[in-house]
Amino acid sequence: MKVPQNDLSKNLPEYQPKEGPRGYSIRDKLLLFTLTLLSIAILGLSSAAFFLSSGALRRARLDGFRSLRESFSEVISRFFADHRRGIATQAESQTFRYAASELSAGYQELIDDLEDAGLPVDDALIASLRDRLRLAYEKYFAPMSALDISKNALAQIANLSREGVIVQYVYILGNAPDSGAEVENEPVGENDGTDSLASKVRNAFSKTTYARAVERYQPSIEAVVGRNRYNDLLFIDNRGNVVYSFGKSWDLGTNVVSGWLANSNLKKVFVGAWYGPPGSSTSPEADHVMVTDMEDYPAKNNRPVVFLGCAISDRLGEQQGVLVHEIDSRQITSIITFDEHWTQVGLGSSGEAYIVGPDRRLRTESRFLQELPPEQTIPSYNEKGLPDGRTSILASPLHNQAVDQLFANKARSGVGEVTFVDERGRESLGVFGMLPLPELNWGLVIRIDTDEAFKPAQDLARLVAVGGLVILVFAIGGIIVFSHFLLGPIGQLVATAEKIGGGDLSARAPVMTSDEVGFLASRFNTMVDQVVAGTNQIRKILETVNEGLFLIGPDLIIQPGYSRATSEIFHREIVGLHFLDLLRPTGQVLEPVLAPATLEATTLYLELLQNPKIKDKLIAQTNPLLEVEFRQRDPKGNRTRFLEFRFNRVLAAGKPTQIMVTVLDVTTSVSLKRQIRESEARAQSQIEMLFGIMHVDPSTLQEFLTHTETQTDNMVQALEAGQFVSKTAETAEQRSDRYARLLQTISRSLHLIKGNATVIHLSYFENLADQLEEEVVAIQQAGVVSGEHFLPITTGLGQMRDRITMTRELIDRLIEMQKVFSHKSSTLNGEFDALAELAEEVARRSGKRVHVTFDFAAPVPAEPKSLSETVHTILTQLVRNAAAHGVELPFHRVNCGKDPVGDIHIFSCRQDPHCFEFGVRDDGRGLDFSVLRRRAVEAGYADKEVIGRWGEAELTDLLFKPGFTTLEQSTRDAGRGVGLDAVQDLAKRFGGEIKVSSKMGSFTEFRVRISMNETFDC
């Protein structure tokens, strides 16, 4: 029988493969940790480096700037001091005194001198000269039209004094080479170079005192100017007229008090120098120098200049005028910018120094003029009056912290350092300080971009950071390598664990190192080995065990992992099925045959098992599945099987979780039990029978038996006769009528039997009859009846017959016993029992029944001594023959009207004292002489004709011929033809003879006569 291959590993509970280690691996954690740590370190270090170094740098810068500031201060103050000294010295010098005096005098006499020289200075002349001047002004100041200068200048032309007009005309417009004018003349008069007016004027002018004075002192003044690099040198008379200008600019000839320069610092310097410091009532000291703040000077193309002024006195000490020096801002700028050698001064590429005045406007040019926003600059004009870009000097006021703090300190020596944002938006580091200049309230600011200042610090920080990053990269590389070596084995272990989790139980972790990981790996392997061994053990047990063994859960579903025998018993895999499905017919090879009540009881029983309050041992006897019938389909034939189910609770922590089911094939034991029960029942019924018979009167019993037998035979015959043998078809109704009649006949007979049995209290027969009656009733009550339904009755009748036979046998046995027990006095004690047994045995073997009787009237003679033995031998043979040959089959006998049990009678007698006779007589079929005759012919003793004439005696003699037998086949007990001839011999030996008498169909008797004396005739 093919059983599906039971791969038990598939039947073991499925291991759910769990996912690999979730979350970050060790290496990731290590990396994360190191990265964080290093990043923090790098960050910290580079910040520290940055801050420390920037602090140092700051200090260094500031120190540098401070010293720079000091040096600048010194230089500037020396500059101004030198200039002050210079102008004072010059003012006191004789030359300058004389110059001033002469120039002033000459200026005053100018008109007179001109007229004396033949030039009438009338209004017309002056007017035309003014016109020309106007043109020149217009042309000159045109580019500067944005400023008010030209308007003012032009406006003031009208106010120019005559002297002024002349002077301006001559020195500015005219191209007088001899006057040494450095001013470039607008070639106004060029077109009319031969203009008589111009030359007239010039001619006349050259004869004046003024002109001669100018000529006389020009070289000395030039020398001074050149030496000191003054922008211009001016003499202003005591009326405020600019009587001399070295540079021959537009201020020449104007009146500082009332002219268009009245608002300029020229006036201031004049006033300051003439009158002395404010607050002093007396005339100023002789060496008092007035210094004005830098201002855009209109006369000098609006260039920012500083004026120094000093009063010139005559010998007598009377002030005659003021000497003015004009210093261009460029000079100061050049000092502060170190002539643009910034880096040498330590200002790098983004640093600068500048001076601001109390109005917070620059007094020096910004280094980063180009980068300044437009509002921080104003247009600038060069010496020729042409636009020259822009300048930051005296542009917008600066409002940065440095400047604020400069002027916040009231004390003039305000110094300090500050970090601030300058006009360009650059964060700057700077120092500031007020310059030690007596008249000027100027402050110095030295600044540098913090970026530049701290660039080294940044560089350092960057270096540290880069270095740190490099270290980080190495660190990561190091960790990866390290983790490979350390975590490699761990990873292998994890991989092995995953494989095992996935179901591959053969996986083992390689033990690669001898550290904790290696230890762990080897212990892990050991553990897995143990688990595998344990699993294998269970598997072996499940494969070997003979019973079906499986577990069901509380849901009664069969769980995977059960014994091989289970699938063999059920001829299929039962995993996942509901337990009760095993007990319901579902078309399987092994089909259950279960009463519905049993299924209910099973459900209830299983329910009880799951109740923790009830102990499973206490309800074991209510198990309804101790003998469950199954039908097994088999090509060779369906058979019935019986399975026994036993249930045990599985407890986990005291609570029932599963039920273990054991299934055992108990077919053989059940059938044995049934056989025992059947034989017990039989025995029981035999006992019943015995007891029943015991109390019945023998003749009554005999009659009952006969009657019952007759009735039974009748019923059997009725069944046989009740068949339909007509050729025409029968309707269902006719048939059912026929059956009904049959049943009635049977019923009647049964009733009779039952009645009789009841009377004599033979429950044995009574019950059977009753049972058969019930069967009849059942058939009568059934609807459609077919001949098949009669089968139980047929069988029942057979049973009735059997019972009758058994009863008769029992009686016979009793009779036999009685005979034996009542004939105790028979001689040949015990030997006759053997004979009787033999006879019965022989009879039995051929299906016959005999009972042996003895009548030994005469005992065997003692002499000769061997006679007794011979008698026994002969009797044995004769008895055998009688049983085998003589007695017929029981039914044969009945047919002849005889008792089915044959009678074999063993006898002895002594009719004659000299003759001892003994023999065996049976009431069997007797000798059939025709058979004898035929046999003789067949055996060839004589031919047919002769034998036909033989009489009984001759035929009888044949029996004693050796080898003669009338049986067609020899059986064990008779038919070999050995017996009778031997008997004859034996008899003859003792002087005896055998006589046979027989009547066909009635009896056969063999009589042996032994003579007791020497005479042989008896």
Partner 1 sequence: MKLLIVDDSSVVRLAIQRDLENGHITQVDQAADGEEAVRLYQEKLHDVITLDITMPRMDGLTCLESLLKINPEAKILIISALRDRATALIALKRGARGFLCKPINPDELREAFELLLTD
Partner 2 sequence: MKMTDQDIRIFITMARRYFEALEPKPTLVIEPPFLRDELGPLLEYTGIIPVSGRCEGAVCFTANGGMLETILALLKDERRDDAAKRDLVGEIANTLSGNAREEFGSDFRISVPNVIVGPRVSADLRTGGRNYAIPLNWRSETAYLLVSLK
Which of 545, 716, 814, 942: binder of partner 2 (CB under 8 A)? 716
Cβ–Cβ under 8 Å, residues 206 and 178: yes
**How many residues form the binding site for partner 2 (CB under 8 A)?**
36
Cβ–Cβ under 8 Å, residues 133 and 169: yes
Write down the least CB distance from residue 799 to partner 2, Å.
9
Which 3 state secondary structure label does DSSP give 986?
helix
Report which residue type is found at 1015: T
**How many residues form the binding site for partner 1 (CB under 8 A)?**
15
Q: List phi, psi (to 5°) of 303.
A: -80, 145
Which of 411, 618, 784, 953: binder of partner 1 (CB under 8 A)? 618
Report which residue type is found at 663: V
Which of 420, 605, 907, 964: binder of partner 1 (CB under 8 A)? 605
Write down the least CB distance from residue 622 to partner 1, Å.
5
User: Is the bond preceding residue 374 a cis peptide, omega within 30 degrees?
Assistant: no
Q: Does 722 help bind partner 2 (rule: CB under 8 A)? A: yes
Half-sphere exposure of 527 (CA within 13 A, CB side): 11
Which of 619, 820, 889, 909: binder of partner 1 (CB under 8 A)? 619
Q: Does 203 help bind partner 2 (rule: CB under 8 A)? A: no
Alpha helices in 360-454 (DSSP H): 401-408, 450-453
Which of 729, 784, 862, 953: binder of partner 2 (CB under 8 A)? 729
Cβ–Cβ under 8 Å, residues 690 and 762: no
Which of 636, 824, 865, 949: binder of partner 2 (CB under 8 A)? 636
Q: Does 638 help bind partner 2 (rule: CB under 8 A)? A: yes
Write down the least CB distance from residue 722 to partner 2, Å.
6
Write down the least CB distance from residue 806 to partner 2, Å.
14
Q: Largest alpha-carbon pair distance within the chain?
A: 249
Encode 112-138: b = buried (16+ Cβ within 10 Å), e = exposed.
ebbeebebebeeebbeebbebbeebbe
Q: Is 279 exposed, middle or buried (0-12, 13-18, 19+ CB in 10 A)?
A: exposed
Residue 172 is given by DSSP the state: I
Distance CA 246, CA 236 (A): 12
Distance CA 735, CA 931 (A): 50
Residue 139 or residue 615: which is nearer to partner 1 going by CB? 615
Distance CA 640, CA 196 (A): 166
Q: Does 797 help bind partner 2 (rule: CB under 8 A)? A: yes
Which of 71, 95, 537, 795: binder of partner 2 (CB under 8 A)? 795
Write down the least CB distance from residue 653 to partner 1, Å.
17
Residue 456 or residue 792: which is nearer to partner 2 going by CB? 792
Partner in contact with 788, chosen from partner 1, partner 2, none, beta carbon below 5 to 8 Å by kind: partner 2
Which of 60, 471, 614, 889: binder of partner 1 (CB under 8 A)? 614
Write down the least CB distance from residue 719 to partner 2, Å.
4
Q: Does 653 help bind partner 1 (rule: CB under 8 A)? A: no
Q: Does 604 help bind partner 1 (rule: CB under 8 A)? A: yes
Write down the least CB distance from residue 676 to partner 2, Å.
14
Q: Does 466 help bind partner 1 (rule: CB under 8 A)? A: no
Q: Does 975 help bind partner 2 (rule: CB under 8 A)? A: no
Residue 542 or residue 718: which is nearer to partner 2 going by CB? 718
Which of 16, 191, 282, 728: binder of partner 2 (CB under 8 A)? 728
Q: Does 890 help bind partner 1 (rule: CB under 8 A)? A: no
Partner in contact with 510, chosen from partner 2, partner 1, none, beta carbon below 5 to 8 Å by kind: none
Interface region with partner 2, contact rule CB under 8 A, candidates 60-68, 211-219, 781-789, 850-858: 781-789
Interface region with partner 2, contact rule CB under 8 A, candidates 214-222, 285-293, 342-350, 722-730: 722-730
Structure tokens at 974: 């008779």
Residue 520 or residue 556: which is nearer to partner 1 going by CB? 556
Provide DSSP, 441-487: --EEEEEEEHHHHTHHHHHHHHHHHHHHHHHHHHHHHHHHHHHHHHH
H/E element holding 431? Answer: strand 427-434
Partner in contact with 891, chosen from partner 2, partner 1, none, beta carbon below 5 to 8 Å by kind: partner 2
Q: Does 414 help bind partner 2 (rule: CB under 8 A)? A: no
Which residues 583-602 are close enough to bind partner 1 by CB under 8 A?
597, 601
Output the CA–CA distances (angstroms, integers) from residue 667 to 277, 564, 632, in the order listed.
148, 19, 12
Cβ–Cβ under 8 Å, residues 261 and 270: no
Write down the least CB distance from residue 971 to partner 2, Å.
13
Report which residue type is found at 442: W
Q: Does 607 help bind partner 1 (rule: CB under 8 A)? A: yes
Which residues 846-865 are close enough to bind partner 2 by CB under 8 A?
847
Write down the least CB distance from residue 619 to partner 1, Å.
6
- Give CA torsion, residues 343, 347, 352, 357, to 10 deg: -120
Q: Does 1 help bind partner 2 (rule: CB under 8 A)? A: no
Q: Does 651 help bind partner 1 (rule: CB under 8 A)? A: no
Which of 43, 135, 369, 608: binder of partner 1 (CB under 8 A)? 608
Residue 250 or residue 642: which is nearer to partner 1 going by CB? 642
Q: Does 622 help bind partner 1 (rule: CB under 8 A)? A: yes
Distance CA 867, CA 852 (A): 22
Estimate the share of the chain in helix, then strand, then coil, as percent rounded to the nearest 5.
Answer: 55, 15, 30
Partner in contact with 624, chosen from partner 2, partner 1, none, beta carbon below 5 to 8 Å by kind: partner 1
Q: In sequence order, what are the beta bridge partners of 727?
A: none
Structure tokens at 1014: 């020497």
Which residues 159-198 are close enough to bind partner 1 by CB under 8 A?
none
Distance CA 270, CA 921 (A): 204
Distance CA 938, CA 931 (A): 10
- Per-residue x/- marks for partner 2, 926-955, CB under 8 A? ------------------------------
Residue 77 or residue 610: which is nearer to partner 1 going by CB? 610
Q: Does 891 help bind partner 2 (rule: CB under 8 A)? A: yes
Which of 346, 436, 553, 792: binder of partner 2 (CB under 8 A)? 792
Residue 303 is given by DSSP the state: E
Write down the least CB distance from residue 640 to partner 2, Å.
9
Cβ–Cβ under 8 Å, residues 76 and 335: yes
For the chain, how far is it from start to end, CA to CA, in angstroms? 81
Q: Which residues contact 417 (CB under 8 A, 6 or more apart)?
A: 62, 65, 66, 429, 430, 431, 432
Residue 427 or residue 899: which is nearer to partner 2 going by CB? 899
Strands (E), 219-376: 232-237, 242-245, 289-291, 295-297, 303-313, 319-328, 352-356
H/E element holding 602? Answer: helix 596-609
Partner in contact with 722, chosen from partner 2, partner 1, none, beta carbon below 5 to 8 Å by kind: partner 2
Which residues 739-768 are close enough to bind partner 2 by CB under 8 A?
739, 742
Write down the least CB distance from residue 609 to partner 1, Å.
10
Cβ–Cβ under 8 Å, residues 230 and 326: yes
Q: Does 621 help bind partner 1 (rule: CB under 8 A)? A: yes
Task: Give the residue from 873, 890, 827 showing the smallest Cα distance to 854.
Answer: 827
Task: Give the residue from 914, 912, 848, 855 showing the smallest Cα distance to 882.
Answer: 848
Distance CA 724, CA 746 (A): 17
Q: Does 733 help bind partner 2 (rule: CB under 8 A)? A: no
Q: Does 726 help bind partner 2 (rule: CB under 8 A)? A: yes
The footprint of partner 1 (CB under 8 A) covers: 597, 601, 604-605, 607-608, 613-615, 617-619, 621-622, 624
Contact set with partner 2 (CB under 8 A): 634, 636-639, 716-717, 719-720, 722-730, 735, 739, 742, 786-795, 797-798, 801, 847, 891
